[in-house]
Amino acid sequence: MTNSMEKPAVTKVEVGQVTVGGANFVVIAGPCSVESEEHFLITGQAAKRSGANILRGGIFKLRTSPDSFQGLGKDGLAIAKRVRQELAMPIVCEITDPRQIGDFHDIVDMFQVGSRNMYNYSLLKELGQTKKPVMLKRGFSALIEEWILAAKYVTDGGNPNVILCERGIRSFEKVTRNTLDLAAVAYIKQNTSFPVIVDPSHATGVRNLILPMALASAAAGADGLLIEIHPDPDNALSDGFQALDFKQFDQLMDKLSLILDTLNRPLAPTAVV
């Protein structure tokens, strides 16, 4: 970590044909969990139609309760593979265990390391042995410095392709699921070479707060966003309370484009894999 006044050069990370950390702003969107092939396909189509660049979808879910839906597992990977091909869109899925790397490697364009695994150094070391991009979410109680050091476990292994994702931290506040730390975003931009994106869905856990926090994230200098969307949020198998429906997501993208115009930072083109 440096504290000099000089900004370190940003590492540009290629996710499929989408560059994160470059001149363009990038939007990742999709459901919290892949629920079925049809569900993932229609959600991906809506994401793409509204201008999202990368599709997300959880397959192995780390849920607070063991009784909650745990994801489709390996069946979900096969679905992700087909939907990725059909939509020609890069895809990011959360990896929860180093033993999954082989199964994930040829399907996803980027590994997601979730908040609960930010301190899983054996997973980070293994991901450092690949060249595939890693989106490292901030641990919900992690200091910025611990988060940056976690990223270093991946880069020290020889994989420079790390994107940081601010997803809110636990505070005393209960109205929101987490507390979005936008100062962390500005700090990362000023003091490290990592691209940084913001996940206002998990950071707020409140559907109506996602749009304003998405706009604020862009203004704070984030390189992109991660947004959870669902065709029928009230019946989602996970995190429905914080999912935008397709119309709400489209409205978010419209408003975002106004901010991006002002910032002179165009949205990345909808790219192919």
Residues at the contact surface with ligand PEP, assessed by CB under 6 A: 32, 58, 114-116, 137, 167, 202
Residue 234's alpha-carbon distances to 142, 162, 252, in angstroms, are 31, 33, 19
Residue 160's alpha-carbon distances to 65, 114, 156, 185, 243, in angstroms, are 34, 18, 8, 19, 31
Q: Rounded to the nearest whole angstrom, what is the least distance from the CB of residue 202 to ligand PEP in the complex?
A: 4
What is the contact mask toward Mn ion in residues 10 to 39, using x (rule: CB under 5 A)? ----------------------x-------
Total residue count of the chain as it appears in this document: 273
In 148-220, the DSSP E strands lie at: 162-166, 196-198
Question: Quick one: residue 8, left, alpha or beta (phi over 0 = left, psi -120 to 50 = alpha)?
Answer: beta
Output the residue with the shortest Cβ distance to ligand PEP. 114
Choose the contact partner of 167 out of ligand PEP, Mn ion, none; CB within 5 to 8 A by kind. ligand PEP
User: Do 63 and 259 meet the contact criterion of CB atoms below 8 Å apart?
Assistant: no
* 3-class SS of residue 198: strand
**45-81: string of b/e by CB count within 10 Å (b at 16+)?**
bbbbebbbbbbbbbbbbeeeeeeeebbbeeebbebbe
What is the contact mask toward Mn ion in residues 234 to 253, using x (rule: CB under 5 A)? -----x--------------
Q: Rounded to the nearest whole angstrom, what is the least distance from the CB of residue 80 to ligand PEP in the complex?
A: 14
Choose the contact partner of 177 out of Mn ion, ligand PEP, none; CB within 5 to 8 A by kind. none
Q: Determine, following the binding rule CB under 5 A, whether residue 136 of this chain makes contact with Mn ion.
A: no
Q: Which residues contact 153 (CB under 8 A, 6 or more apart)?
A: 121, 124, 125, 128
Residue closer to ligand PEP (CB basis): 32 or 134: 32
| Number of amino acids touching Mn ion (CB under 5 A) | 2
Residue closer to Mn ion (CB basis): 128 or 233: 233
Choose the contact partner of 137 out of ligand PEP, Mn ion, none; CB within 5 to 8 A by kind. ligand PEP
User: Do 130 and 159 meet the contact criterion of CB atoms below 8 Å apart?
Assistant: yes
Q: Rounded to the nearest whole angstrom, what is the least distance from the CB of residue 227 to ligand PEP in the complex?
A: 10
Q: Rounded to the nearest whole angstrom, what is the least distance from the CB of residue 266 to ligand PEP in the complex?
A: 26
Q: Rounded to the nearest whole angstrom, what is the least distance from the CB of residue 165 to Mn ion in the complex?
A: 12
Q: Which residues form the interface with Mn ion (CB under 5 A)?
A: 32, 239
